[in-house]
Structure 1
Amino acid sequence: MKYIIIITFLTTLLGSNSIDRNVVKVLSSEEFKTQIENKSVQLIDVRTPKEFQSGHISGAENIDFYSDKFAFEFNKLDKDKAVYVYCRSGSRSNKASKKLVELGFIEIYDLKGGFLNYN
């Protein structure tokens, strides 16, 4: 009985990770720039407002990963349209991407290395 529970748990865990990989794509700074340049995209900076004010990618909207309104603000966006996320170094945007999968977003692009890697 224990083995069945463990196998079921592992299958579920591995299956959900493969779904995340299919929905979330981590892009190099060059790929990210190419996909957002001169296009109307949902570009979201998940850093704090202070970090955002110190510099951000042109056209980005700020939705703070640490804010209590994170899910509320993301739920205002179109879940059927691609969303591009970034943070300072890539850690928060990775966590944010996982939350976006849970919120029902189907196409998520995460900037590898974050804003530090973008310029």
Structure 2
Amino acid sequence: MVLGSFLGCQDRQTSKEVELITAEEMDSLVELGKVQLIDVRTPEEYAEGHIYGAVNINFLDDNFEELIEQVDKSKPVAVYCGKGGRSAKCASYMKKAGFTKIYDLNGGITEWKYKGKDLVQ
């Protein structure tokens, strides 16, 4: 029971450190050039359409950690995937790796498209 309480507190702390944002909030951050934008889907998914300005770093790639380490940790970063699972794992890793500000698109690119936001190919 004590372990469950500890893990519950730890999850709440992480959610405060990684900010889930809406498609509208992501759009504003991208428009203002306020974030480094990372698409953590596969290259095939990325090629089907991605958010303008996004760099593709495949979360499932064997050298994912090496690639993510090349991103500037001192600048805000926003991540997204298909629906939110991979980006949540990526954001968690990035927090442990010392990134200072991390945004995660709630609902991923699925939500982005649902809100009528543009994609580029």
TM-score range normalised by the length of the shorter chain: 0.7 to 0.9
Alignment counterpart, residue 14 of structure 1, candidates 8, 31, 40 = 8
Amino acid at match of 1:99: Y
> Which residue number corresponds to residue 84 of structure 1?
78
Name the CA distance, whole Å, in 2 between partners of 1:63 and 1:47: 7
Tell whether the 8 Å contact from 2:34 to 2:76 is kept in structure 1 after alignment.
no
Please tell me whether residue 33 in structure 1 is matched to residue 27 in structure 2: yes
Q: Is the 8 A contact 1:71 1:103 kept in 2?
A: no
Cα offsets for 1:85-112 (capped at 9, x unmatched): 0011111111211111121112110111
Map of 1:3 onto structure 2: none
Match of 1:42 in 2: 36
Partner of 1:24: 18
With normalisation by structure 1, the TM-score equals 0.85
Match of 2:105 among 95, 100, 111: 111
TM-score for the superposition, normalised by structure 2: 0.84
Q: Which runs of 5+ in 2 are unaligned?
A: none
CA distance in 1, matches of 2:74, 2:4: 29
- 3-state DSSP class of the match of 1:25? strand
Q: Aligned letter for 1:39?
A: G
Structure 1 ranges of 4+ moved more than 4 A: none
Cross-structure match for 1:96 = 90
| Identity value in percent | 39
Distance 2:34 2:20 in 1: 20
Cα RMSD after superposing both structures: 1.6
Of 34, 55, 63, 1:61 maps to: 55
Counterpart CA distance in 2 for 1:43 and 1:67 is: 18
Give the stretch that moved more between structures: 43-52 or 64-73. 64-73
Equivalenced residues, count: 113
Letter in 2 for 1:16: Q
